[in-house]
Structure 1
Amino acid sequence: MKLEKRDVDVRGQKPNNVKVEKTTSNGSKAQSVKVERVSKEVIRTPDSKRPASVPNGHPKLTSLVKCNDPTRDKIRELLAEAFVSVSRETSDDDRDEVKNILDEVEACDPYRVAVTVESALFERLGPSTGTHRAKYRSIMFNLRAENNTDFRRRVLIGLVAPERLPDIPPDEMASDARKQENMQIKEKALFDCERGAAPKATTDQFKCARCGQRKTTYYQLQTRSADEPMTTFVTCVNCNNHWKFC
């Protein structure tokens, strides 16, 4: 038998056509058989639109995953609504340090985070209608409060792990602005407490930064170690402004 191959690709590729001839021992040709091999052509079509992926590699969810429990599903819906709004809130924020993480926020999956948070709360606290109902309400209030964009953004991007939420006290879940207000309230309360226990004197040595008047009262306390200067607490008689210095 004699095999004759034609149209061999010099680059080592498989030939498209192969002709095979069979001969008998007396030299007569038998019926020739032509075998054609068709090379496979890879047809590339435009990539279809794929769901965006989040940093951990999972594709973004396009809708909320439910667990067929009406109460739990309602919590997931409320959380998803809060987390979906974070992208817009970040874009509208006037602070540069917030705007700079817009790409990180948009890469997150609000629906997946909502499911993760609800599942973590349920695993740790049980049903929201049970003994930990007040804790559920506190967490949900702080995550959904209109002026608490900072807290829900931290949860969305992973700075606050869902498993930690039951352990965070309410004052730490407050917005940055609210934390500042709480700090000022505490300082004023401490100021008033210390002022009531110490003798006061009147002087015109201090100028009020608020109204510009110099009619003030002041007192001094040792608030730090003994070798440190005393702290002077000053009150403007005209506008009741308070300040202190060492």
Structure 2
Amino acid sequence: VEQQCAEKTKFQTKMENVLKENDRLFTQALSVEIVNIVVHDCMKVNCLNVDACEHCVTTESELKTDFIKKECYETLLQQYHILETHCISLEVNNQLNTKIFQRDIVSSSESAPTFAELFETNELKAQIQEKDTVILKLKEKLKSISGDVKERKVEREVEEIETLNLELDHKVTKLAAENEHLKQTYKQLFDSIKSSRVQSKEQCDDLINKVNLKSVEVTDLNASLQEKVLVITALKEQLKGKAVLTKAVSLNLIDSALL
């Protein structure tokens, strides 16, 4: 009986070890699958970041070009408004002087002019002619300045745009090289992950086969244990029967002795 109990304890210990090994193999398989999922998601996120970076470079180039054109246009427009205001002021003064001169002519036709009035009239005419000349010169200067400024601004703008385009070309080339490097890296990672997933699948299949074998072994052990329990029960019943017979024999011997 003690031997049977020892075998039962040993069998239970072996079953517990098998169950622990089964849990460990299952946990290992889950860990490998989780790592594969995380690495695959990280690759997707990095690919999206590269595409967003290329889109940002294109948008930045367009915005810088529009900003330079707008700044040059605003500067030229401001200078043009200043010169236009000055010309309008001179034209207004010229019109006032013309009205004064015409009024003096009308008044001189009504009354004979004096020497002082004639001198003043001639002086006003000279001033009007001088201001007309100044106005014409200012208009020509305005046109010349406007054309020169526009040409210089356009040339400078073209140079800045060409410089900016060269810088952007270098950046795009650099980003394209980095993108190609990232693609190669991700391809290598993908191939590595693919091979590791195949290996992991093989390991998982192997682990599942081991677990199935362990399960069969546990089932066999349970059946063996059940048989041993039945044997132990039968032995106990036999021992009980022998004890009853021994007791009955001893009682019969005592009764015959008394007789």
Q: Normalized per residue, which structure has more helix?
A: 2
Q: Same fold (TM over 0.5)?
A: no
Coarse TM-score class (shorter-chain normalised): under 0.3
Greater relative contact order structure (CA < 8 Å, 6+ sep): 2
Tell me the TM-score normalised to structure 2 length: 0.23
Tell me the TM-score normalised to structure 1 length: 0.24
Q: Normalized per residue, which structure has more strand?
A: 1
